[in-house]
Every structure is written in structure tokens, then in C-alpha cells.
């Protein structure tokens, strides 16, 4: 064996090998031993009390508490005041009373009949406690005369004692104005002017006693006055010498018995005067008497009623709460159907509110509930108070009215005889004026009754175009909202609903008969036409664009040319057919387009 050779050079490092497998984790160690207790040191002295910091921000408002329970009713409080007031004496009238006598002095009143009327007034006043000082008891008397107009005979400031009042009454002399009578106009004057200047108060009784010798010149004015008397808590009594039918029909809505039509008592007969004392002058609401009566309605007088409620940004949140309370109170005037889906009897209510307009959607309203949703007022009121919310959009009355007429009513089974739409508007309608007029006219021509309650600074002309005729029956403009105004609406509604059930007004009215006949006949043909009425000598273009935005006046003696855009034919229509009315109507195939119509009298431009 040879000798061991020299050690070779160190070789290069080889490649790194693969990482080995992770090993098993070890067992966790146990808790260590408890440490030694620390040394106790002495406690330091208590520091000085710091200064009071600044007041923090107010906290959240707590939930509204439950309504308190009345300890005493209103009648209890009245009785307490009567027991402890030195002014109170158990005489008639029971409450502080503002009393107006109105004497008929129209063309057919004889001196003998006038003296009989004056003697009846003296007899009534003799039995009353007359207010002679500032103590709010007894009656204060005002006497007026009426024919077509109303004039003062005795004012409340003309006397200071009952003796002076009786002297003034005995000195009233017979006068014949030669004019026809309008007792309705006189009743409106008394309500709007005389009682406005008299003592106000929740327990002040307002009574108006009229003497009428025959038929009034206007039945509509009597109905208007009846609605206003109801809204203002005025109790009317009419002594009628002859015709009483119009008055009795208008007063039949009242179930309290305080609205009375009395025959003039012949000599020695006391019964009519006793009824006046018992049911009107000396009536005590805290102790109801036998004057109450039942209201009889004609058969098939039920109605479908849709409320269109403005909940846009035009109305404040507090006002919106008041409007919700108003609608809830208005529901009490209806006899709700117990089975609104299948029954033929009973009233049905739907509530809709304006929603922010979205052109991608066809409807312009939010349906709160439909005619067949609820079968009693309690459920409707709960929905209004709980689920009805303000949407803060733009007011679109015309589109809401169109949706109601085109979809809501036609889609309801077993429609009632009367179809009524209540529009509650707070102003600021964001639509073309012509479009709103067109939608209102379309609804009226289909027989819908439109009652408008205007609560804001809306344009008077727009609301008058929207409401049904006569306007005095179908339009209330309140301005700013406050509780007495809303009470006025609720009390006005009672005789209005009765007038609709009795058919006192015609829907559509006679003044729209010709235009409605024309509109309805063209809609039945289901054609897209343009109707253009101009004075005959003018040449008309058949192009559709030439029509938009035009509104031409028509003179009293003008004839008209009707042009159909689908043909080259012209038709001559004499002026007698339209009786000095102005008409512009546009129909298009597109149901969502804005259609235009206007109707005025004597060629007056309302734009």
C-alpha cells in the first residue's frame, strides 16, 4: 500500500435541501405560581372639589305622553259657571244669544201682514231675557228688512234696555220696496256680515228668525245659506206665510230640530211660537229634548267618495297634521258600507295623496286605501293617523284627478250612484293651467262631483275652474289653517252631502251641457281629433302644431267652423248651439300627454 496522498481542496457548497416537515406543537405549559402580595402603602388625602363644568346640550325629546282624562265635561263646566255667576238667572235663552229678526218687505207684502209680523216679533221679545249690560247673558237683538237686498232697522247699539227695544220695535213702519224677495241672499248677508260683528265664543248661541211671504227668487241661494249657517253654528227659523217647500227641503239635513220652518200662527194659536222657544231660542245643548228628528234619504242615494290630499312641500308638517285630523272628522258624515266589495248599499271611501311626479310611471298619486279596503270609519281613521305620511313632492292636481277618473273609479266594482271627489289643496300646483282645466272639465262631464278645499295661497281662478258648480256649494277657500276654519269645513260638509244625496244640483250642470255632449260623443268614437272653433271668416290650418297654445275668443253672434285633422272637410255650426261660450279642446292618442280645454262665458280671457 502506498503512502496516503495530500488532502484535496474543499469542494463547492451543494444545493440547499428541501425544507423538512413541521414538527408537532408542544404541550402548552401550565399557569405559573401566584406572585407575592405587594406592599400596602398609605392612602393620600382627598383632593379639592373641582369647579362645575359647562351645561351640556339638551337631550332628545321624549315620547309624547298619553292624552289626559277630562275631569269635567263641557256641560259640567257650563253648569258650574251658571251656579256661581252673579249674572246667571234661569231665564230664556239659556246661553248668551245673538238674535236677528229679518222682516220681509218685498213687493207682495201688505200693511196688514207687515203689522202681523211686527206683532209676532214683539211677542217673542217680551218673553226673552234681553241683555242690558256687559254681562254675557240673555239675548242681544238686531232687526233687518229684506227683499233683494238687506237693510238694518234696529242695531244692537240703538238700545240699552228691554223697554227701549220694545219701543223701537213698535215704531217700525210699513214700507213696500216693490222688489222681489230673495230670502237666501238675505240669509247669506246675515251670516257673513251681521253675525261677524257680534259676540263670539264657544257657548254663544246664534239664532236668525226670518219672516217670508212667499217663494224666493233663488232656490240655490237658500241651499248656500243653509250650508253657511250650518258651518257657522247659526240656528235659523223661518215663519212662512205661503210657500215653504224649498226651505223645508234645504233644512231637512238637520237632525237636531233647530233648523225650523214654521207656519205663521193665526190669532190665538201658540204652538208655532212654543216650538220656536222650545227648539231654538231656549234650546240647551247639554239637555237634549224631543226636538231631534230622523233624517230620511231617498233610495239608492249612496256614494263613492275619493279624497285627493295634498301632502306636497307646499304644506308644513303641523298643517299636515291638522289636515289629517280634518279628513278623519269628515268621514263621520258618511254611512260606510259593511261589505264594500259585494254590497250595493252603503258609502265607500278612498284616500289618495299627490306623489312626486315621475314620468317613468303612469300614476301620479299614492293610493293610501281604495274603496274596498275598509268597512268602517275606525279603521280608516287609524290608517290616516298611523300610515299617512307627507311626501314633500310637487303638487300635481291635474294628473291626480286624471288617474282617479281613469283608473280608480272604473276599476271598482258596483259603483254607487253618486261619485264625489274631495280635493284638499295647499296651493302651488305645478302643472299647466290649461291641463288642470281640461282634467276638471273631463271629470265634470262624466258626472263627477268635485268639492275643493283650498288651504293655502292658491290662485282663486284655478280653484274655481276645478270645483263643480255652483261654486258657493263646492268651493271653500280658507287661507291660513287654524282650528276654527277646519271646523267650518266639517260643519259645512253635512248639508253638502245631503244636497248631493237629494239631487239638489245637476251634474254636469246645464251650463256645460253642450260642451259635454260634444266631448263625450267624440270620446265614444275613440278617434284622435283636433277641434278648433274660430269666427267663421277666419281660415284655419289643418296642422296639429298650429293648434297648440291657441285660445280664441268667440263673440256672442259668431258662428263656428269645426275642422277634423283627419280630413279636409269643414262643418258649419251656428252660434246658438254654444250660447256665447268659448271652447278650446285637444285630444291626442297619447294618454299621458297634456290635453287642453277652456270654457268661459262672454269671451273672457282667464289666462
Tens digit of each residue's pLDDT (9 = 90 or more) over 216-243: 778 889 999 999 999 998 999 999 887 7
Do residues 254 and 313 share a domain? Answer: no
Do residues 223 and 98 share a domain? Answer: yes
Do residues 267 and 332 share a domain? Answer: no
Of the listed ranges 101-115, 271-285, 307-321, 478-492, the least confidently predicted one is 478-492
Residues 585/519, Cβ–Cβ less than 8 Å: yes
Examine the pLDDT at 382 and tell me if it is beyond 90.
Answer: yes
**Residue 228 pLDDT:** 93
The CA distance from 19 to 159, in Å, is: 123
What 3-state class would DSSP assign to 570?
A: strand
Contacts 24+ apart (CB under 8 A), 324-327: 324/384, 324/385, 324/388, 325/486, 326/424, 326/453, 326/486, 326/489, 326/490, 327/351, 327/384, 327/424
The CA distance from 207 to 279, in Å, is: 11
| Number of domain units in the chain | 3
Do residues 354 and 446 share a domain? Answer: yes
Examine the pLDDT at 576 and tell me if it is beyond 90.
Answer: no
For residue 217, what is the domain's CATH number?
3.40.50.410
**Is residue 53 a part of any domain in this protein?**
no
Examine the pLDDT at 567 and tell me if it is beyond 50.
Answer: no
**Residue 573 pLDDT:** 37
**Residue range 411-421: average pLDDT?**
92
**Is residue 319 a part of any domain in this protein?**
yes
Do residues 582 and 542 share a domain? Answer: yes
**Is residue 318 a part of any domain in this protein?**
yes
Tens digit of each residue's pLDDT (9 = 90 or more) over 88-99: 666 788 888 999
**Is residue 147 a part of any domain in this protein?**
yes
Do residues 325 and 239 share a domain? Answer: no
Do residues 493 and 394 share a domain? Answer: yes
Give the domain range for residue 336: 303-502
Q: DSSP state, 205? A: E
- Residue 583: pLDDT band (50, 70, 90) is very low
Q: In this prediction, what percent of the chain has a pLDDT beyond 70?
A: 80
Amino acid at each position: 500500500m502506498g503512502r496516503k496522498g495530500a488532502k484535496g481542496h474543499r469542494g463547492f457548497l451543494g444545493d440547499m435541501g428541501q425544507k423538512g416537515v413541521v414538527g408537532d406543537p408542544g404541550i402548552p405549559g401550565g399557569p405559573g405560581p401566584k406572585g407575592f402580595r405587594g406592599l400596602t402603602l398609605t392612602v393620600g388625602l382627598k383632593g379639592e372639589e373641582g369647579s362645575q363644568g359647562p351645561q351640556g346640550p339638551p337631550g332628545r325629546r321624549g315620547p309624547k305622553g298619553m292624552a289626559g282624562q277630562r275631569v269635567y265635561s263641557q256641560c259640567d263646566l257650563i253648569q258650574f259657571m251658571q251656579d256661581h255667576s252673579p249674572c246667571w238667572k234661569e231665564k230664556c235663552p239659556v246661553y248668551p244669544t245673538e238674535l236677528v229678526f229679518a222682516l220681509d218687505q218685498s213687493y207682495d207684502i201688505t200693511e196688514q201682514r207687515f203689522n202681523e209680523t211686527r206683532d209676532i216679533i214683539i211677542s217673542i221679545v217680551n218673553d226673552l231675557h234681553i241683555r242690558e249690560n256687559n254681562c254675557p247673558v240673555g239675548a242681544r237683538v238686531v232687526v233687518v228688512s229684506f227683499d233683494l237686498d238687506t237693510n238694518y232697522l234696529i242695531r244692537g247699539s240703538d238700545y240699552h234696555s228691554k223697554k227701549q227695544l220694545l219701543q223701537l220695535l213698535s215704531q217700525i213702519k210699513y214700507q213696500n220696496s216693490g222688489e222681489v224677495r230673495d230670502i237666501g241672499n238675505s240669509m247669506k248677508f246675515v251670516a257673513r256680515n251681521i253675525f261677524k260683528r257680534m259676540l263670539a265664543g264657544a257657548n254663544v248661541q246664534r239664532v236668525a228668525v226670518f219672516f217670508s211671504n212667499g217663494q224666493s227668487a233663488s232656490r240655490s241661494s237658500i241651499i248656500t245659506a243653509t250650508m253657511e249657517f250650518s258651518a257657522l253654528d247659526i240656528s235659523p227659523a223661518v215663519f212662512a206665510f205661503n210657500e215653504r217647500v224649498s226651505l223645508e227641503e234645504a233644512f231637512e239635513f238637520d237632525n237636531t230640530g233647530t233648523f225650523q220652518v214654521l207656519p205663521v200662527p193665526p190669532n190665538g194659536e201658540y204652538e208655532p211660537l212654543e216650538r220656536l222657544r222650545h227648539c231654538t231660542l231656549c234650546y240647551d245643548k247639554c239637555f237634549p229634548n224631543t226636538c231631534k228628528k230622523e233624517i230620511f234619504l231617498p233610495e239608492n242615494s249612496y256614494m263613492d267618495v275619493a279624497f285627493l290630499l295634498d301632502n306636497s312641500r307646499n304644506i308644513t308638517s303641523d298643517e299636515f297634521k291638522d289636515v289629517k285630523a280634518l279628513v278623519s272628522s269628515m268621514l263621520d258624515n258618511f254611512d260606510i258600507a259593511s261589505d264594500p266589495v259585494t254590497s250595493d248599499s252603503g258609502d265607500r271611501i278612498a284616500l289618495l295623496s299627490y306623489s312626486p311626479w315621475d314620468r317613468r310611471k303612469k300614476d301620479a298619486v299614492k293610493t293610501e286605501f281604495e274603496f274596498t279596503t275598509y268597512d268602517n270609519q275606525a279603521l280608516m281613521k287609524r290608517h290616516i293617523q298611523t300610515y299617512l305620511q307627507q311626501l314633500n313632492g310637487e303638487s300635481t292636481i291635474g294628473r291626480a284627478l286624471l288617474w282617479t277618473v281613469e283608473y280608480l273609479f272604473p276599476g271598482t266594482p258596483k259603483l254607487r250612484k253618486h261619485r264625489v271627489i274631495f280635493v284638499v289643496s295647499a296651493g302651488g300646483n305645478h302643472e299647466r293651467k290649461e291641463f288642470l282645466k281640461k282634467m276638471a272639465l273631463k271629470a265634470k262631464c262624466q258626472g263627477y262631483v268635485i268639492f275643493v278645499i283650498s288651504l293655502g295661497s292658491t290662485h282663486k281662478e284655478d280653484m274655481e275652474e276645478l270645483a263643480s258648480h255652483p261654486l258657493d256649494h263646492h268651493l271653500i277657500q280658507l287661507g291660513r289653517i287654524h282650528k276654527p276654519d277646519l271646523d267650518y269645513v266639517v260643519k259645512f260638509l253635512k248639508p253638502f252631502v245631503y244636497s248631493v244625496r237629494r239631487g239638489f244640483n245637476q251634474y254636469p250642470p246645464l251650463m256645460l251641457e253642450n260642451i259635454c255632449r260634444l266631448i263625450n260623443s267624440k270620446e265614444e268614437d275613440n278617434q284622435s281629433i283636433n277641434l278648433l272653433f274660430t269666427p267663421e271668416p277666419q281660415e284655419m290650418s289643418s296642422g296639429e302644431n298650429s293648434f297648440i297654445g291657441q285660445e280664441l275668443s268667440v263673440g256672442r253672434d259668431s258662428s263656428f267652423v269645426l275642422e277634423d285633422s283627419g280630413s279636409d272637410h269643414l262643418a258649419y255650426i251656428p252660434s246658438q248651439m254654444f250660447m256665447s261660450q268659448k271652447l278650446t279642446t285637444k285630444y291626442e292618442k297619447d294618454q299621458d300627454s297634456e290635453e287642453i280645454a277652456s270654457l268661459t262665458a262672454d269671451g273672457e280671457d282667464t289666462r
